């Protein structure tokens, strides 16, 4: 078997490029994985042409069994670009990988036509080509996954920044409306921003409203208690409001000790208590 990586592939690619490109585009357009809603035919044709060019230049240098070398840089860059744009457009991973895999059929057909008489040589060439394309497709999928991961990480960061506002209800009264599930990373951010704000506004009272928190487990309860304890160490009192019936049941079943925490049914009740503690009262105008 020809494992040195020398092959006739480069020559064949160069000689029959227009035919291979035509066959390939046609098979892609006919395939069920075609997403005409996401990409125009001209775009697809252009991407196919670029990849075929890069493939030819890469194959010219030899080294078909290693796509990490410098001669494949162009092909790698191109595939990175394509998989990135497809990940953003909403292609599935298999649809993205199929872009590379679909080149196999037209390429194999051409190889068979060129060296059909020599069975051993054909088998060698087919093996080399299939390994090459598999590696490139794997690379594409990896890049696709990577860009998806980046997207998710970015969205998570944005969500984290958006979801922890500390608002000032009154001079000396802060409110922290929590919405969504609390994990340890988020609670850490919540805790820090609340404590920073307590220092910045020197507010002696903070209301943590958990109306928007769907579930509370031991870890979340622990985090809440830690926040309350840390605020107390700094000299501020915390009131927790908006505890749902299910959460109350869970807290008791879990055996979490909320003895140090002042619970109030609603944010309004908590605010009323806060005003009372500061010696303030709400009165009807003119009364």
Partner 1 sequence: MARIPILKMGAFLLVTIQVDMHDRLALTLQDDLTTRIVADRAHGVLIDISSLDVVDSFIGRMISDISKMAQVLDAHTVVVGMQPAVAITLVELGLSLEGVRTALDVERGMELLRLQVSEG
Phi-psi region of 279 (alpha: psi -120 to 50; beta: other; left: phi over 0): left
In the complex with partner 1, which residue's Cβ is closer, 128 or 220?
A: 220
Choice from 82, 133, 236, 270 touching partner 1 (CB under 8 A):
236
Site string for partner 1, 201-230 (x = CB under 8 A): -xxx---------------------x--xx
In the complex with partner 1, which residue's Cβ is closer, 34 or 280?
A: 280
In the complex with partner 1, which residue's Cβ is closer, 25 or 187?
A: 187
From 46-54, 59-67, 191-199, 263-271, give the range in contact with partner 1 by CB under 8 A.
191-199
Residue 156: partners with Cβ closer than 8 Å, 6 or more residues away: none
Among residues 134, 206, 200, the alpha carbon closest in space to that of 170 is found at: 206
Choice from 185, 192, 211, 218 touching partner 1 (CB under 8 A):
192
Choice from 136, 166, 198, 221 touching partner 1 (CB under 8 A):
198
Q: Does 235 bind partner 1 (CB under 8 A)?
A: yes
CA distance 72 to 58: 5
In the complex with partner 1, which residue's Cβ is closer, 230 or 247?
A: 230
Angle between helices 73-89 and 41-60 (to 10 degrees): 160
Tell me the closest approach of the beta carbon of residue 235 to partner 1, in angstroms.
4
In the complex with partner 1, which residue's Cβ is closer, 113 or 232?
A: 232
Choice from 1, 30, 162, 233 touching partner 1 (CB under 8 A):
233
Tell me the closest approach of the beta carbon of residue 148 to partner 1, in angstroms.
34
From 94-102, 115-123, 130-138, 233-241, give the range in contact with partner 1 by CB under 8 A.
233-241
In the complex with partner 1, which residue's Cβ is closer, 43 or 260?
A: 260
Q: Which residues bind partner 1 (CB under 8 A)?
A: 191-192, 195-196, 198-199, 202-204, 226, 229-236
């Amino acid at each position: 078997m020809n494992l040195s990586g020398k092959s006739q592939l480069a020559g064949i690619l160069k000689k029959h490029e227009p035919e291979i490109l035509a066959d390939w585009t046609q098979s892609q357009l006919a395939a069920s994985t075609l997403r005409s809603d996401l990409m125009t035919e001209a775009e697809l044709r252009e991407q196919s042409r670029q990849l075929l060019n890069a493939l030819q230049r890469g194959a010219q240098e030899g080294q078909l069994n290693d796509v990490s070398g410098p001669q494949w840089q162009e092909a790698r860059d191109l595939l990175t670009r394509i998989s990135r744009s497809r990940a953003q457009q909403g292609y599935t991973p298999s649809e993205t990988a199929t872009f590379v895999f679909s080149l196999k059929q037209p390429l194999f057909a051409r190889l068979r036509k060129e060296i059909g008489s020599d069975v051993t040589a054909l088998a060698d060439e087919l093996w080399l080509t299939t390994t090459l394309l598999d590696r490139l497709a794997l690379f594409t999928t990896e890049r696709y996954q990577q860009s998806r991961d980046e997207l998710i990480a970015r969205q998570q960061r944005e969500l984290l920044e958006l979801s922890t506002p500390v608002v000032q209800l009154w001079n000396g009264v802060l409110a922290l409306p929590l919405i969504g599930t609390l994990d340890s990373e988020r609670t850490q951010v919540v805790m820090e921003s609340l404590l920073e704000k307590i220092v910045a506004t020197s507010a002696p009272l903070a209301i943590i409203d958990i109306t928007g928190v769907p579930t509370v487990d031991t870890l979340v309860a622990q985090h809440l208690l830690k926040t309350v304890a840390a605020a107390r160490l700094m000299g501020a009192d915390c009131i927790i409001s908006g505890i749902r019936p299910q959460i109350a049941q869970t807290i008791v079943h879990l055996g979490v000790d909320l003895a140090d925490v002042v619970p109030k049914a609603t944010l309004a009740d908590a605010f009323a208590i806060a005003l009372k503690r500061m010696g303030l009262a709400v009165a009807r105008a003119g009364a």
